[in-house]
Amino acid sequence: MVRPGIVFLLVLSFGLLHHGSGRPSRTRKAEPTRQTADEDDVKTQIAKLWLEVNSLKEMQALQTVCLRGIKAHKKCYLAVEELKHYHEANEDCIAQGGTLATPRDLNENNDLRDYAQRTSPGSKDFWIGVTDIVKEGQYVDVNSMPITYFNWDRSKKQPTGGKRESCVTLSLASQGKWHDEVCRSLKKYICEYLIP
């Protein structure tokens, strides 16, 4: 919700800008140089106010996501029940202002596992933001940054996929261990949003 004070300032600023751009008054001489500087100042103030309004909208949207999901590790996580291919899941997270969740350590991985189990009991696995699509065996996150934490399911000899299985899931059946899967498989997924 936009704060009423900000709306008032925007209306007032617009009114001043509109009034200042009219014809000069008959009672005083026009000062075109000063008037232009004043207009530029008002325009700058309006631009700053719009940035603040947009920032408030983003924070409100993020708070809504956090209320539906969980907060942990300076991030909000939101599990999505809809089944999608890896790339569709990633695009959906981006469209919502986040990315596919990428656990950076054991604590984050365990929190994601616990959250997914609570949110979607009976589900098998969820897409996370880890892949080796570009170069086989070189795992990166959705921003193409190298991954330094791994939680492979070694009991199932993961990763096993070779070039065919290039996208990673967090497996609830394997207590949060990772499996590489065919990216075109339909899975649920978890998005993450950084908290400013």
Q: What is the pLDDT of residues 21-51, one digit of tens each?
A: 455 445 555 555 566 778 888 888 888 877 7
What does residue 46 show for φ and ψ, rounded to 5 degrees?
-65, -45
C-beta separation of 77 from 69 below 8 A: yes
Distance CA 115, CA 86 (A): 20
User: Given this model, what pLDDT does residue 195 score?
Assistant: 80
Q: What is the pTM of this model?
A: 0.68
> Among all chains, which residue has been given the structure tokens 């004043």?
38
For residue 167, which amino acid is it?
Answer: C
Q: What does the DSSP 8-state code read for residue 123?
A: -
- β-pair partners for 140: 131, 146
pLDDT in tens, 114-136: 999 999 988 999 999 999 999 99
